[in-house]
Amino acid sequence: MISVQGLYKQFGDIEVLKGIDITVEKGKVVVIIGPSGSGKTTFLRCLNVLETPTKGKISIANRQLDFSKPVTKREIHEFRRLTGMVFQSYNLFPHMTALENVMEGPVTVKREKKEHAREKAMELLAKVGLRDKAHHYPFQLSGGQQQRVGIARALAMEPEVMLFDEPTSALDPELVGEVLKVMKSLANEGMTMIVVTHEMRFAKEVADEVIFMDGGVIVERGTPDQLLVAPQNERTKRFLQLIR
């Protein structure tokens, strides 16, 4: 489903990604962990082409972008639709209800009929446990509820892959569980997911593979048991000790 080869990203003089290679099979869940500043967010933003990589190739669902050649805006636009992104801050439109937030992409970007988009959005809100909040505005919702609307909004575009960038780290502790539960059920339904998170329990229970990034490279990867319980690399060991 996803294949990344030799991905580099430079901001000015700073090389933030220094040759990332990964493949992710359809339906698998990959959790990325690593210290602050190691390039995790930049990597997700490259997959979503919110950042343009300096070089490298990204394939998602049989479509490829090769950044050693010029890439057109149209190609980027089409490629971006393959992934749905959920951010740390939910970024909902404040003047729109939950339902309108979820309908927005399908109606304006995909030009779906409003009725159809509304029906689908209601189904998605039900899926994230928010059918009864459809007509609430973001300010009337808790952080956990807003984040679940954020997930429904990303799903409304019917992406091949879901990318989550620390989706629970802005939440009060008691609201984290409800968001992780929605993510877990998505994983169980077979969604291909890449998740940057510090939630080690989620990684243990849901990830097929855990990747440890540091200094813009993948230092170590493995099953949750391999990487979280018996890490081989000294940097991985040190990081895990620090967060425990």
Binding positions for ligand ADP, rule: CB under 6 A: 11, 16, 34, 36-42
CB 138 within 8 A of CB 94: yes
CB 57 within 8 A of CB 67: yes
Quote the least distance from Cβ 24 to ligand ADP, whole Å.
Answer: 18
CA atoms within 13 A on the CB side of 160: 17
CB 12 to ligand ADP: min, Å: 6
Least Cβ distance, residue 131 to ligand ADP (angstroms): 34
Least Å from the CB of residue 142 to ligand ADP: 25
> Which residue lies nearer to ligand ADP by CB, 40 or 118?
40
What DSSP character marks residue 68? T
| Three state DSSP letters for 213-230 | EECCEEEEEECHHHHHHC
**Around Cβ 40, how many Cβ atoms within 10 Å?**
23
Whose Cβ is closer to ligand ADP: residue 17's or residue 134's?
A: 17
Q: CA distances (Å), 156 to each of 17, 67, 118, 119, 167, in order?
A: 30, 28, 10, 11, 18
Q: What element of type H or E holds 212?
A: strand 209-214
Which residue number, 122 or 217, has a Cβ lying nearer to ligand ADP? 217
Cβ distance to ligand ADP smaller for residue 9 or 153: 9
Provide the minimum distance between the beta carbon of 56 and ligand ADP in the complex, in angstroms, as a whole number.
Answer: 15
